[in-house]
Chain A
Amino acid sequence: MSIDVERIRADFPILTRTVRDGRPLVYLDSANTSQKPRQVIDAIDDYYTAHNANIHRATHQLGEEATEAYEGARIKAANLIGAGSETEVVFTKNISEGINLVAYAMGNAATAGPEAERFRVGPGDEIVITEMEHHSNIVPWQLLAQRTGATLRWFGVTDDGRLDLTNIDDLINERTKIVAVAHQSNVLGTINPLRLIADKAHAVGALVLADGAQAVPHMRVDVQALGVDFYGFTAHKICGPTGIGVLWGRAELLETLPPFLGGGEMIETVAMEGSTYAPPPHKFEAGTMPIAEAAGLGAAIDYLTEVGLDQIEAQQQELLAYALKSLTAIDGLRIIGPVDAEERGTAISFTLEGLDGREIHPHDVSQVLDAHGIAVRAGHHCARPLHKRFGVTASTRASLYFYNTPDEVDALVEGLRETQKFFGTT
C-alpha cells in the first residue's frame, strides 16, 4: 500500500503556514531537521500536562508514569533498529553526544580495569573514519587521537560520490581499533556498505561505529544484520523532538565500556573513596535525562511505524528518482553525489550556474528560494572536508521526506530557474 501524502501532510500543522509574504511553505530541509506531526506535539504536551515527574527515583504515581513514558520509548527505539534488547539502547542528547560518548569512554579505558582492555587506544593504534563524514563523526576522533597518540586515517571518496574502498585492506589492519562511518551521507546521500566494512573490521579485531542520523529516517534499519558494534541516530530527524538521541551498542561492549559522564543515576554505589556503576544503559545516563523528549521520541516512532517504514522507503525512492530527473534537467546544475537513485537517500546537494555560466553562491541560491517560500540548506552542511574534496566551499542542499510531494520538487526546479535568471544577466 502506498502513502497518502495529503493525509500525512494534514498531521503536520507547520506545513499549512505561510512564509515571506503569504507564500505556502515548501520545506525541503528535512535532512537538517524534520517537521513534527500533531501526534508528537501532543505526546510532549500530554507528558507535561498530566504525567510530569522525575524518573526512577520518585515513588509515587506520577513518577511511575514518567518512568513508563521514558523506558517505553527505549523499548520502541530498540524495536525500531532491531536491537537485541532495550538495555542496549542508551539515550543521549543527540548523535554528536553518542559518538563523543564512545570516543571519550575509549579514552577513559587507559586507566580503567582489565575488562576495558579491548577499548584501549594508544600510540601505534589507528582510528579509521571517512572523508564524507559529518563534523560530528570527525572531530571526536581527532580529539581521541590527540589525547592518546593514536593515528587517524580515512577512506577517500570517488568522483561519483561513493566510498573509495580500493585501499580497504591497507586502511583496516591489525592496528585498527575502531572504524567510524556514516550509514548515509548527509551531503551526497550515499548509502555506505556497512556490512562489508564491519566484516573487514571484525576480521582484524576492530570495532565499528555507524552514524545513522540520515539513514534511520528513511529506511528499515537492522543493526544485527548490518553487523556493526555501535549505531547512533537522533529523534529530531525522525519527526521527534530535539534534545534526545540514541546510541545503540552491543550488550557485551556496553558492559565493559568505561563510563563517559559521571553523576546521579549512573551509579550503583558511591563512597567518598570511589564508586561503582549501574549496569548499562543507565551507566551512560548521568543526571536527569530528557524525559518529555523521550515521550516525544516514542510517539514519533509510533507514528513512523503506523505510516509504515517500508512505505516511507518506497515513497522516498519514487520521489528521489523524480527529483534527480528534474534537477539534472537544469542546465548548469551539478549534483555532488550519485546521480542515480541506487543506494542513495534523499539529500541532494548541488552547485548552480547562472545563465552567464558563472557559479551562483549557495547563499544567494537559498535566499532567492526563500523568497519563493522554499526552505533548503546552503553552506558546507558540517562536512567541510567533503566539499573541499569536490573543489567547492559550499553547496545548496534540498532534502526530502515522506510529507513532500512532486509538486514541491517542481516548485524547487522553478525557483532554481528563477535564481539563474536573477543572477545570470550581465
Chain B
Amino acid sequence: MQLESMYQEIILDHYRNPHHKGLREPYDAEVHHVNPTCGDEVTLRVRLDGGEVADVSYDALGCSISQASASVMTDLIIGRPVKDAMVTGDEFLKLMQSRGQLEPDEDVLEDAVAFTGVSKYPARIKCALLAWMAWKDATAKAMEGSNS
C-alpha cells in the first residue's frame, strides 16, 4: 500500500529515535530555516575541521519526514570530507526531484534511499529537503567565515 511506500520502516525508526539531535558547541555557523507552507523549522549548526564535516547538530520542529531526513543526513555526512558530503547532498536533491522515477544509488545515499517514495508526493519533497538545504547554507557560511 502507498502509505508504506512513503513511510518506510527506516524513516519511522529515524523519526522515533533521531540521531545526532540537539544543538552542540562548538560550531562555526548556525542557520534557521523554515518551510512557509507548514511552518516546519530547523536550527542547524555546522563545525568544520580542515575540509571535513566535524559535527552537524540541530533542533527541529516538524513532521516525521523532515525529522527523519535530518537524522539520516547527519549519519551520512558527519566525519566525511565536505566535498563528498556535497556530492551526497546533490544526489539526494536529484532523487527528491525525480518523482519516483530515479533508481537511487545505494552506495552514495545509504539509508536515504528510503526517501524515494516521498519524491512521489510533491507536497512533501520540501519536508525531506529542509535539513539538507539548511546544512548547505550553514556550510557555505562556515567556509566564508574561515576564508575571511
Contact = CB atoms under 8 A, between A and B. Distances in A.
Interface in B28-65: 37-41, 61-65
Interface string A1-38: 00000000000000000001100000000000000000
B16 interface: yes
A394 B3 contact: no
Contact of A380 (B12, B38, B127): B38
A21 B64 CA distance: 24
Interface string B71-113: 0000000000000000000000000000000000000000000
A371 interface: yes
Nearest to A392: B39
Nearest to A387: B39
A384 B39 contact: yes
A393 interface: yes
A379 B39 contact: yes
Contact of A378 (B12, B38, B65): B38
A363 B3 contact: no
Contacts of A363: 38, 40, 62-63, 65, 123-124, 127
A371 B121 CA distance: 12
Contacts, number: 52
A368 B41 contact: no
Contacts of B6: 367
Nearest to A363: B63
B7 interface: yes
B3 A371 contact: yes
A362 interface: yes
B38 A362 contact: yes
Contacts of B37: 379
Interface residues of A, number: 20
A423 B64 CA distance: 9
A361, A387, A426 — most chain B CB neighbours (10 Å): A361
A322 interface: no
Nearest to B121: A367
Contacts of B62: 361, 363, 393
A364 interface: yes
- Chain B, interface size category, equals 20 to 34
B117 to A, nearest CB: 11
A359 to B, nearest CB: 10
A356 to B, nearest CB: 8
A426 B17 CA distance: 9
Given A21-B2, A371-B2, A422-B7, A364 B64 contact: yes
Contacts of A367: 3, 6-7, 121, 124
Interface string A367-399: 110010000001110001001000001100000
A367 B15 CA distance: 16
Contacts of A371: 1-3
A393 B3 contact: no
A393 B41 CA distance: 9
B127 to A, nearest CB: 7
B3 A422 contact: yes
B2 A394 contact: no
Given A363-B65, A364-B63, A364-B64, A393 B7 contact: no
Contacts of B16: 426
A368 B64 CA distance: 12
A393 B61 contact: yes
Interface in A383-426: 384, 387, 393-394, 422-423, 426
6 contacts: A361-B40, A362-B38, A367-B3, A371-B2, A378-B38, A379-B38
Interface of B: 1-3, 6-7, 12, 16, 37-41, 61-65, 121, 123-124, 127
- Cβ-closest 6 pairs across A and B: A361-B63, A393-B39, A363-B63, A371-B3, A379-B38, A394-B39
Given A367-B121, A371-B2, 14 more contacts: A20-B2, A21-B1, A21-B2, A363-B38, A363-B40, A364-B65, A367-B7, A368-B3, A379-B39, A380-B38, A393-B61, A422-B3, A423-B12, A426-B16
